[in-house]
């Protein structure tokens, strides 16, 4: 099977094409190819398919075999992939995801893809959307787990993200994130983002992703973190906020209720894998 390995500021994915829907047991395939010792190694598997709703369809499966409805870094890589492989021809096109149809814009520099800009949709704090168990919302609420208190806000930004601002206490992404991901209040689990405000236009985000663990970047998590930081007045109410993740930087634009993400995507290598 032919594959491409791609990364978006350190969040890495294996890309394969399946235009005739021939792949069986795709969740098991994801676990195999994403294994960093016995496979290619990645945070997730991305399958490129035809769509009846958009110009192309993105299916993403986490490294542990669980399905994800949306991933910001993956969809930037997806945009670059389908453009450079001439699956789409225009600089603006649509992609079907598990979170609906997303609008993509390719930004060129000297005829090369420099950035991919993605319309991420509108955030929701509604407990039914996230979904939360018997909770109308989770906004600025203090939750104590194993004697440690966390002030948490959860928002749906394609997938559920819980935001914790690092103010007077430092958090460990692995130790704290793995503990909070599957709290009983989260019906389907939650990604956990630890956010540090650098200044009024810059923040840092470290993310524990459900199904993948601590990653070098999370596009939906960076988007959600900006949305919540704006809600609490922790950053300026301007369009562009710069977000630093361990793997690099993204630009998040909030235009009213609409969220856009802009950043790079790179091909790491290509090859064949026996399955």
Q: Which residues are catalytic?
A: 71, 218
220 marked among binding-site residues? yes
Does 39 carry a binding-site annotation? no
Query: β-strands 191-199, 159-165: how paired?
Result: parallel
72 is in an annotated binding site: yes
- Among 206, 208, 207, 210, which Cα is nearest to 188's? 210
**Residue 117 known to bind ligand:** no
Rounded Cα–Cα distance for residues 215 and 12 (Å)? 9
> Cα angle at 174 between 138 and 11, to 5 degrees?
90
Q: Are strands 2-8 and 266-272 parallel, antiparallel or unpaired?
A: antiparallel
Contacts of 119 (CB under 8 A, 6+ apart): 102, 103, 104, 258, 259, 260
263 labelled binding-site residue: no
Q: Does the annotation place 219 within a ligand binding site? A: yes
Q: Which two tokens stand for residue 90?
A: 């225009």
Binding site per annotation, positions: 11, 62, 72-73, 191, 209-210, 219-220
Binding site per annotation, positions for substrate: 11, 62, 72-73, 191, 209-210, 219-220
């Amino acid at each position: 099977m032919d594959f491409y390995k791609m990364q978006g500021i350190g969040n890495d994915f294996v890309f394969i094409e399946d235009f005739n829907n021939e792949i069986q047991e795709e969740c098991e395939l994801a676990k195999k190819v994403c294994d960093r010792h016995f496979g290619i190694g990645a945070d997730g598997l991305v399958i490129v398919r035809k769509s009846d709703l958009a110009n192309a369809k993105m299916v993403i499966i986490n490294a542990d075999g669980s399905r994800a409805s949306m991933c910001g870094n993956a969809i930037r890589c997806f945009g670059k992939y389908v453009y450079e492989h001439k699956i789409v021809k225009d600089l603006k096109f649509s992609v079907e995801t598990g979170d609906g149809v997303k609008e993509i814009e390719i930004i060129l520099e000297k005829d090369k893809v420099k950035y991919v800009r993605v319309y991420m949709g509108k955030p929701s704090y509604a407990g039914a959307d996230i979904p939360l168990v018997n909770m109308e919302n989770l906004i600025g609420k203090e939750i104590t787990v194993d004697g440690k208190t966390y002030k948490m806000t959860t928002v749906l930004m394609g997938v559920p993200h819980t935001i914790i601002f690092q103010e007077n206490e430092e958090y460990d992404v692995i130790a704290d994130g793995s503990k909070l991901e599957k709290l009983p209040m989260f019906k389907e689990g939650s990604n956990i983002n630890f956010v540090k405000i650098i200044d009024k236009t810059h923040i840092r985000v470290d993310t524990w992703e459900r199904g993948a663990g601590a990653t070098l970047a999370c596009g939906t998590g960076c988007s959600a973190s900006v949305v919540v930081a704006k809600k609490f007045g922790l950053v300026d109410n301007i369009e562009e906020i710069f977000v630093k993740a361990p793997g690099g930087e993204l630009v998040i634009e909030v235009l009213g209720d609409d969220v856009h993400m802009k950043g790079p995507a790179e091909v790491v290598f290509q090859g064949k894998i026996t399955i």
